[in-house]
Homo-oligomer: A and B are copies of this chain.
Amino acid sequence: MADKKKRRRADSDSESASQPFKNLLKSDDQILQILKSFTTCFSSSSTSKPLTLADLALSTTCREVSDLSLSSVQSAIESLVLQLAHQILSGQGFSFTVPSRSSSNQLYVPELDRIVLRDKSTVRPFSHISSVRKTTITSKILSLVHQLCLKNIHVTKRDLFYTDVKLFQDQIQSDAVLDDVSCMLGCTRSSLNVIAAEKGVVVGRLIFSDNGDMIDCTKMGMGGKAIPPNIDRVGDMQSDALFILLVEKDAAYIRLAEDRFYNRFPCIIVTAKGQPDVATRLFLRKMKTELKLPVLALVDSDPYGLKILSVYGCGSKNMSYDSANLTTPDIKWLGIRPSDLDKYKIPEQCRLPMTEQDIKTGKDLLEEDFVKKNPGWVEELNLMVKTRQKAEIQALSSFGFQYLSEVYLPLKLQQQDWL
């Protein structure tokens, strides 16, 4: 008898040794209480109207685009063409005035916590050898977008390119002019009905409509729902979730979907499977805005994990003209953070040495304004660069495949351990 008892105790000891900190976990009800008060407090604070360029008196020196209806885009193109005709008839020649999207024309605005575009423009004359091709491409793209408006259909950037391979030569050229056209018309790229390939998935406590069909993301099995490429046909979002869990990678997403983590702690789980694509960024922003839920990010503990978080949060330089629509402010860095490696005793053999390139990327990030404004992030990033160690979310598998969903995440939530 005594023997048996001892063995049982030894078993549970070894369990907690192999799954460190499991003994710190409170009951799910207690963790839920903690989350509920956080979410309530969060949603009441986020009802304050977000700052705009106008509030900061930047609306004349910075440029932003907005979502326009198809008919407004159509009218904008038609008046632009009319204006060009007048210009030509009055002897001024044929040229477009195109907002500059170069990095010298970009600005990080701390109050908004995102990158925006300044107001510099360049003139693109048809009658100059250096710009005749680009002017022709611009006219062609305007005419294609006008067609899309008339037909009310969506196409991909690849489709656009293929309408005239000889003219565009390379998809990079038609893609770049497409962004120019967005800036010229003052509308988002989604308003042009040109979409990028989808790759994100969502699962959990969310109901929404996709092109008229109601989707219940708790009933999407393990595969989840593919995030629609066209946000303008997404609507009617409803949810009883307490937070949104933004996951960098597929493997962690699959673990959480199979364990139906969203039923234990009501949440919506979303991933773009690596680099954030436009569709997933728009979808995340829409969820955050409509549902007023906090967003917690689960990314790898390496410079690219933080970089990915920053694209969701502050935008990419390439599309800074549309940062107001593409970014989700105030994303919390839940983990895996550099300090977690020691805190959660991630075994040495599951940590990887950083390469010189990793170190450089880490140091570059330390110079970025969006990192600097968050002292907690600076501290973590300094630790990463100092220890020269990185780890993927999967490193937690060394404590058992379900350690992520059964111990690590619940404990993080219980301790409100995010930055």
Q: Interface of A with B (CB < 8 Å)?
A: 147-148, 151, 153-156, 158-167, 195, 197-199, 201, 209-215, 219-230, 233-234, 249-251, 254-255, 258-259, 273, 348-350, 352, 392, 394-398, 401-402
Contact = CB atoms under 8 A, between A and B. Distances in A.
A164 B398 contact: yes
A119 B191 CA distance: 59
Interface-centre pick from A155, A162, A209 (highest chain B CB count, 10 A): A162
Given A251-B156, A255-B155, A165 B220 contact: no
A235 to B, nearest CB: 11
Contacts of A155: 251, 255, 397, 401
21 contacts: A148-B401, A153-B401, A154-B222, A156-B251, A156-B254, A159-B251, A162-B350, A162-B392, A162-B397, A163-B401, A164-B349, A167-B349, A213-B219, A213-B220, A214-B219, A215-B219, A221-B233, A222-B228, A222-B229, A225-B226, A226-B226
A159 B220 CA distance: 23
A20 to B, nearest CB: 15
**Copies of the polypeptide in the assembly:** 2
A70 to B, nearest CB: 14
A269 to B, nearest CB: 13
Given A158-B394, A166-B349, A349-B166, A215 B211 contact: no
Contacts of A259: 153
Q: Which 4 A-B pairs have the closest CB atoms?
A: A210-B221, A166-B349, A223-B228, A211-B221
Nearest to A398: B163
Given A197-B250, A209-B221, 14 more contacts: A147-B401, A155-B251, A159-B397, A160-B397, A162-B395, A166-B348, A166-B350, A197-B251, A210-B221, A211-B221, A212-B221, A214-B219, A215-B219, A230-B258
Nearest to A160: B397
A252 to B, nearest CB: 9
A258 B153 contact: yes
A162 B214 CA distance: 38
Contacts of A227: 223
A46 B210 CA distance: 36
A138 to B, nearest CB: 18
Given A250-B197, A402-B153, A233 B228 contact: no
A313 B214 CA distance: 35
A154 B258 contact: yes
Nearest to A258: B154
B220 A201 contact: no
Contacts of A154: 222, 254, 258
Contacts of A214: 219
Contact of A224 (B148, B226, B396): B226
A47 B151 CA distance: 44
B225 A352 contact: no
Contacts of A226: 201, 220, 223-226
